[in-house]
Amino acid sequence: MKRVAVLFSRGPGRCADAQAGIDAALALLAFEHDLQVGFIGAGVELLAGADHGDERGQRHRMIAALAHHGASRMLASRDCLDARGLSPRLSDVEQVDRSDFARWLAEADHVLAF
């Protein structure tokens, strides 16, 4: 089984990129790939969540659905979260050092970046 890494490095201001990444990740899960999802740079802002009624809340629920539907690993840069004063609102997100992302990406068979 191919391991696919989906990397979010752009923040919520680029909502088309975030939505395309979430859609791609969900499609990969439908085809039973080993999907792992990473958040780095401004991408960690996607993990902050929001009120239930707005667009950010909807996006946050879709990110939570990735773990629910079988993403084998979800990780976020601890350094990037700390720099923004954020903490992921999802319990499935593993916080790692930013330097660990290079190794994580190198181990993937395919990488999709959004």
pLDDT higher at 28 or 1: 28
DSSP letter assigned to residue 89: S
Tell me the pLDDT band of 59, cut-offs 50, 70 and 90. confident
Rounded CA-CA distance 70/56 in Å is 22
Name the residue among 50, 36, 32, 56 with its Cα closest to residue 100.
36
The answer to whether residues 44 and 84 touch, using CB atoms and an 8 Å cutoff, is: yes
Mean pLDDT of 51-72: 85
Q: What is the pLDDT at residue 54?
A: 72
Give the model confidence (pLDDT) of 82-105 as tens digits: 999 999 888 899 999 988 989 999
Domains delineated in the chain: 3-113 (3.40.1260.10)
Query: Alpha-carbon torsion 49, 54, 59, 64, what sign?
Result: positive
Nearest to 88 by CA among 70, 74, 102, 103: 74
Confidence (pTM): 0.91
Enumerate residues 6+ apart whose C-beta is below 8 A from 88.
44, 47, 48, 76, 81, 95
- The residue-averaged pLDDT of 58-79 equals 93
What is the C-alpha separation between 23 and 1, in angstroms, rounded?
A: 20
pLDDT at 14: 67
pLDDT value at position 52?
61
